[in-house]
Amino acid sequence: MPAAAPFPDWLIILSWSALYLGVGCAALILVDVARFPQHMGIMNVVWPVTALFGTVLVAALYFRYGRNAEPSHRGETHQTPETPFPIMVAKGTLHCGAGCTLGDVIAETLAFLFPAIAILFGWKTIFADKTYAVWILDFVLAFGLGIVFQYFAIVPMRKLAPLEGLREAFKADALSLICWQIGMYGLMFLAQRYFSASFGQQAKPDSPVFWFAMQIAMVAGFVTSFPANWWLIRAGIKEKM
């Protein structure tokens, strides 16, 4: 491994640019959903959260297929044109990914600010590398928040009791969440291997390079989770969105 070297200026600039773009797209959507709330309340959170990594692609999907139109004179809103099935799957995948994204961001931040948390999840006892211990925390929080997001989507739609809703949320999103995390972990593993080989260091959560890599990792999570959501929706296990 080469001696540690600063990340090059081009990578820092690229990272900040991608992060600012994500924040800008999220802010744009956040302002719009405040004016025209989604019929499914949890989607008011899903769209801006997923725009943090999906940037202009998520913003374009929102304004084309997710945004509620101008309220009518009766105070009602209506959905944009009929949604093709692949777009329904994309929306379902983003719904799953929003919980994963928040869970991963919270876990990585907590483990960086309070390293003892990583010790609780096996760092220095099971894992020599702190990364793998933090990934366990990532999975716990991402999976838990993902189920919560699905719960608040499925319970109002089906008018379920709390326990029944929790069971159905788990059934609808467990496979999708696992597939998302596999993609995220795989990309972050490759990114950190590249950083170590090229610059002699891994990117840490206090670096824009780390969060730029996380943006790409979330896109990878979307890609690996998309087929699972296709099957879940086609089989009627997960609701169309």
C-alpha gyration radius of the chain: 19
- The model carries a pTM of 0.88
Amino acid at 69: A
The DSSP annotation for 33-73 comes to HHHS--SSTTHHHHHHHHHHHHHHHHHHHIIIII-B----T
Task: Report how far apart the first and last C-alpha atoms of the chain are (Å, whole number).
Answer: 47
DSSP string, 101-147: HHHHHHHHHHHHH-THHHHHTTBTTTBSSHHHHHHHHHHHHHHHHHH
Please check the confidence at residue 3 and state whether its pLDDT lies above 80.
no
Average pLDDT over residues 125-149: 90
- Contact present, 5 and 203 (Cβ < 8 Å): no
pLDDT digits (tens, 9 = 90+) for 76-129: 334 445 789 999 999 999 998 999 899 999 999 999 999 999 999 999 999 888
User: CB neighbours of 84 closer than 8 A, spacing ≥ 6?
Assistant: none
Tally of CA atoms within 13 A in the half-sphere of 24 that contains its CB: 9
Is residue 168's pLDDT more than 90?
no
List, in sequence order, every residue forming a beta bridge with 123; answer none if it has no partner: 127
Residue range 34-46, pLDDT digits in tens: 999 998 888 999 9
pLDDT of res. 82: 74
